[in-house]
Amino acid sequence: MHEQPGRWALAGALTMVVGLATSYAVAMVLTIRESPVVAVAELIIRITPGAVAEWLIDLVGQLDKPLLLLGIVVFLLAMGAFAGVLARTSTLKPLLVWLVLSAIGTGAVLVQPGANAVDVLPVVVGFVTWVVVLSAVTQPLVTARQRPELASRERRTFLVVAGVMGVAAIAIAGAGRFVGRGRRHVAESRRLLRLEGVTREPAPAATTVDLVGVSPWQTPNDDFYLIHTAISVPTIEPKDWSLRIHGLVDREVTLSFADLVSRRLTQAWITLGCVSNEVGSDLIGNAWWSGVRIADILAEVGLDPSADCVLQTSEDGWNCATPLTALTDDRNAMLAVAMNGRPLPIEHGFPVRTVVPGLYGYVSATKWVVDFEVTRFRDVAAFWTQRGWSEQGPVKISSRIDVPGDGDDVPVGALDVGGVAWAQHTGIAGVEVAVDGGEWQPATLGATPTDDSWVQWRLQVDLEEGDHELRVRAIDKDGLEQTGVRRDVLPDGATGWHTIQVGAVSG
Ligand SMILES: Nc1nc2c(c(=O)[nH]1)N[C@H]1C(S)=C(S)[C@@H](COP(=O)(O)O)O[C@H]1N2
Ligand SMILES: [Mo]
């Protein structure tokens, strides 16, 4: 029987559509900005020379972006048809087409500002879809070629499979868009939310030691580290949010967002860090948090004397147990609604999260928090505790060298060394640096308005030509010296001095 390249081209083009649909759906569900196709369009816009862009905009006006997207889609359909035709004679060649397209998509996604590894997922899903669907759609064509007597039956099968794939593509893309829609609405609510009394506090001038390369004392929201187990983060409208407080209390209550923000507001600088932060690493940040003191709310509900913790639960089911002492003493443990003067970013727990100075995030800083059960440690096992992490998670004193970098070449002679040190809720009294295992030399500290935030430090050392080792340690306000004993992050936080190597070179 005579073979029809048209069918193979159609199969390839359909495969392309299905892959674009699954890829788009994954991007929407994960709500990672935009689909890879849009990322490619943005990349093209970015690398188009200004003069060419102006000429094009003159030519097509407001239609520039839709036309660009349309052009990309038409090109992709052609590539899909091309891959389909190639599949007629080779299994490898269409794979190469999918690979090249995926590589372009990956590149475009990764050069987007703030891109991270998850953003590649839609591309990966699209690639896998292409490979699987092409072989499924072309199977009847292959059979028809091998068994000509079955050709007419196989042609019907092909048309059915092709039709099903087309419908599936539309359904997948539509479902993805539907799930992603919640996110867009919440992003809009967040943008429009006005929080009475929340101020945008600049970092006090004295906090900086004015050394280039040292982490900014105030961490911008976009640079603040992110840790959560949720793949698709919860999207909660403020009007739908509530916090139920129950368990060993005199009066169970449920607070709405309006109830919460009508209370007296507390604002504070608090450094939040992750127990998984390795020595010298950067899972830590410092922000201006605004919220309502948890101590006040717990006082209203009345606590049973036998209780010793609050089991906090997030809307996505994650939980942690926080000691009542830390929630009811004089520290600023709060239900936070704003971070650096803005409503919490969705990824950081919008509309409400917990922040507790002095404790690692995994035992205290519940994002998208919706439930407080007042209870006893011995009666509960929280998410990370069940997985081998310590039940209690007070922050360990720690310090880090930000500049110079490990392995850097530096000029012989005077060298400025600097970084940050933290011991939240105790405070840092001193930071010391040792060169090549020599005497500990005291560093200059930046000021800090509170013991709940980290401090910047800097020191000038003098280096002779050759390789050197620099290490740092901190001393807290209780007189505790940071230990040099190296311990892993599991079960309750790393210890050890951050140590780096530099090469001093002359000229
Ligand atoms: N809902 C939820 N809240 C969570 C987590 C989580 O996985 N889910 N991780 C915790 C951990 S381990 C840390 S270190 C902090 C991190 O907060 P951030 O992502 O705002 O920096 O959030 C805490 N709150
Ligand atoms: Mo963490």
Q: Which is it for strands 309-314 and 253-256: parallel, antiparallel or unpaired?
A: unpaired
Asked whether 385 and 319 are in contact (CB, 8 A), the reply is no
Between 158 and 290, the higher pLDDT residue: 290
Q: Is residue 32 pLDDT above 70, yes or no?
A: no
Lowest mean pLDDT among 87-96, 140-149, 253-262: 140-149
> Which of helix, strand or coil describes residue 280?
coil
Nearest to 123 by CA among 181, 232, 38: 38
For residues 312 and 73, give the distance between their C-alpha atoms in angstroms, rounded to a whole number.
Answer: 47
Kindly state the average pLDDT of the residues 290-315: 97
For residue 237, give every residue at least 6 positions away whose Cβ sits within 8 Å of its Cβ, in sequence order, or none.
185, 186, 189, 351
> Which of helix, strand or coil describes residue 247?
strand
Measured by CA distance, the residue closest to atom 10 of ligand 1 is 362
Tell me the residue ranges of DSSP E strands in 168-317: 242-247, 253-256, 266-273, 284-293, 309-314
* pLDDT of 260: 98
Long-range contacts of 165-170 (CB under 8 A, 24+ apart): 165/14, 165/15, 165/17, 165/18, 165/133, 165/136, 165/137, 166/14, 166/17, 166/18, 168/18, 168/21, 169/14, 169/17, 169/18, 169/20, 169/21, 169/22, 170/21
For residues 3 and 144, give the distance between their C-alpha atoms in angstroms, rounded to a whole number.
Answer: 9
Kindly state the average pLDDT of the residues 413-441: 98
Residue ranges with CB less than 5 Å from ion ligand 2: 227, 274, 361-362
* pLDDT of 140: 87
Q: Is residue 155 pLDDT above 50, yes or no?
A: yes
- Residue 362 Cα to ligand 2 middle (Å): 5
* pLDDT of 4: 74
For residues 334 and 345, give the distance between their C-alpha atoms in angstroms, rounded to a whole number.
Answer: 17
* pLDDT of 1: 45
3-class SS letters over 411-435 = ECEEEEEEEEEECCCCCEEEEEEEE
Strand order in the sheet with 444-445: 398-403, 413-422, 455-463, 444-445
> Which of helix, strand or coil describes residue 242?
strand
Q: Is residue 272 pLDDT above 90, yes or no?
A: yes
> Which of helix, strand or coil describes residue 271?
strand
Question: 10 Å Cβ neighbour count for 117?
Answer: 7
Kindly state the average pLDDT of the residues 171-200: 88
First to last CA, the chain: 78
Kindly state the average pLDDT of the residues 197-209: 96
Token pair 């070449």 is found at 409
Nearest to 291 by CA among 366, 371, 197: 197
Nearest to 270 by CA among 201, 332, 190: 332
Token pair 């996604």 is found at 109
Please work out whether the CB of residue 348 comes within 6 Å of at least one atom of ligand 1.
yes
Ligand 1 atom nearest to CA at 273: 14
Residue 31 in tokens: 């709500």
Q: Is residue 279 pLDDT above 70, yes or no?
A: yes
Q: Is residue 312 pLDDT above 60, yes or no?
A: yes
Between 115 and 357, the higher pLDDT residue: 357
Q: pTM for this structure?
A: 0.76
The residue whose CB lies within 8 Å of the most ligand 1 atoms, and thus the one to mutate among 221, 226, 228, is 228
Please work out whether the CB of residue 367 comes within 6 Å of at least one atom of ligand 1.
yes
Between 217 and 230, the higher pLDDT residue: 217
Between 465 and 157, the higher pLDDT residue: 465
* pLDDT of 34: 67
The whole-chain average pLDDT of the chain stands at 93
Please work out whether the CB of residue 425 comes within 6 Å of at least one atom of ligand 1.
no
- Residue 360 Cα to ligand 2 middle (Å): 6
Q: Is residue 113 pLDDT above 90, yes or no?
A: no
Decide which of 3.90.420.10, 1.10.260.40, 3.90.1150.10, 3.40.50.300 is the CATH code for 212-387.
3.90.420.10
How large a percentage of the chain has pLDDT more than 70? 98
**Residues 392-412: tens digit of each pLDDT:** 999 999 999 999 999 999 999
* pLDDT of 477: 98
Domains of the chain, by residue range, sit at 5-180, 212-387, 398-505
Q: Is residue 2 pLDDT above 70, yes or no?
A: no
Considering the domain 398-505, what is its CATH architecture?
Sandwich (2.60)
* Partners of 431 in beta bridges: 474
Q: Is residue 376 pLDDT above 90, yes or no?
A: yes
Q: Is residue 5 pLDDT above 70, yes or no?
A: yes
- Residue 314 Cα to ligand 2 middle (Å): 15
